[in-house]
């Protein structure tokens, strides 16, 4: 993250300093965003939506990286043949497709549950972890397929990797997501780590 972005985040934190101030400005027409003492469920619901759909764009990024990698594997020649003829290049591309389709299925499942008006905390958590980590792997794969072109800024592949690296961190780190998932599966204390401060 750039120092500018960090400053923007620090600024946001300053603005939320004090519940009274947040309440006065958070709802429509100056009304609170929810019932008094319902902050926990309002937060849980909004974070569920965030985890559900913010990562849809990452599925799109995976598709874009796959298409770019296939094009490059066919057009770039080394040792008298397209580099896609080497298994070291073609197999990671096949894995990109597997990750893409699994990520899409997880995303669609969350979308279906929300359209049915159902809770999707467990599914959204799984989707967040899988999609964000899959994009990192796919972006790493795309850099490798593109060789030095993947590393240079000209073609935008390295930018995709930089963008991807944020996914496992924002909207709750994946370590915390795994704790939530384990708790939802009934593992007591998985999130709090035994409650130590």
Ligand X SMILES: Cc1cc2nc3c(=O)[nH]c(=O)nc-3n(C[C@H](O)[C@H](O)[C@H](O)COP(=O)(O)OP(=O)(O)OC[C@H]3O[C@@H](n4cnc5c(N)ncnc54)[C@H](O)[C@@H]3O)c2cc1C
By the criterion CB under 6 A, which residues form the site for ligand X? 1, 166, 169-170, 172-173, 175-176, 179, 193
The per-residue DSSP string of 1-68 comes to: --HHHHHHHHHHHHHTSSHHHHHHHHSGGG--SSSTT-HHHHHHHHHHHHHHHTTHHHHHHHHHHHHH
Q: Between 95 and 183, whose beta carbon lies closer to ligand X?
A: 183
Active-site amino acid positions: 50
Q: Between 2 and 153, whose beta carbon lies closer to ligand X?
A: 2
Q: Minimum distance between the CB of residue 176 and ligand X, rounded to whole angstroms?
A: 5
Q: Minimum distance between the CB of residue 175 and ligand X, rounded to whole angstroms?
A: 3
Rounded CA separation 5/124 (Å): 26
Q: Comparing C-alpha atoms, which of 128, 169, 163, 129 is closest to residue 143?
A: 163
The per-residue DSSP string of 69-90 comes to: HHHHHHH-EETTEEGGGSHHHH
Q: Between 69 and 130, whose beta carbon lies closer to ligand X?
A: 130
Q: Between 105 and 169, whose beta carbon lies closer to ligand X?
A: 169
Q: Minimum distance between the CB of residue 92 and ligand X, rounded to whole angstroms?
A: 25
Q: Which residues contact 97 (CB under 8 A, 6 or more apart)?
A: 66
Q: Between 46 and 75, whose beta carbon lies closer to ligand X?
A: 46
Q: Minimum distance between the CB of residue 190 and ligand X, rounded to whole angstroms?
A: 9
Q: Minimum distance between the CB of residue 193 and ligand X, rounded to whole angstroms?
A: 6
Q: Which residues contact 99 (CB under 8 A, 6 or more apart)?
A: 62, 134, 137, 138
Beta bridge mates, 77:
82
The DSSP letter of residue 168 is T
């Amino acid at each position: 993250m750039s120092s500018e972005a960090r400053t923007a985040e620090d600024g946001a934190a300053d603005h939320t300093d004090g519940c009274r101030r947040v309440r006065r400005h958070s709802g429509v027409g100056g009304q609170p965003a929810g019932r008094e003492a319902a902050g926990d469920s309002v937060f849980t619901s909004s974070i569920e939506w965030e985890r559900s759909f913010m990562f849809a764009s990452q599925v799109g990024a995976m598709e874009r990286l796959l298409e770019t990698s296939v094009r490059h594997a066919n057009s770039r020649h080394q040792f008298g043949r397209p580099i896609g003829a080497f298994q070291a290049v073609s197999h990671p591309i096949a894995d990109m497709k597997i990750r893409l389709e699994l990520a899409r299925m997880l995303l669609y499942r969350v979308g279906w549950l929300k359209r049915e008006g159902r809770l999707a905390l467990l599914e959204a958590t799984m989707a967040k972890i899988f999609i964000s980590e899959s994009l990192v792997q796919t972006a790493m794969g795309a850099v490798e397929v593109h060789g030095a072109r993947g590393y240079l800024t000209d073609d935008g592949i390295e930018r995709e990797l930089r963008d991807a690296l944020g996914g496992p961190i924002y909207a709750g780190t994946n370590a915390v997501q795994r704790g939530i998932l384990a708790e939802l599966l009934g593992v007591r204390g998985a999130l709090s780590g035994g409650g130590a401060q």
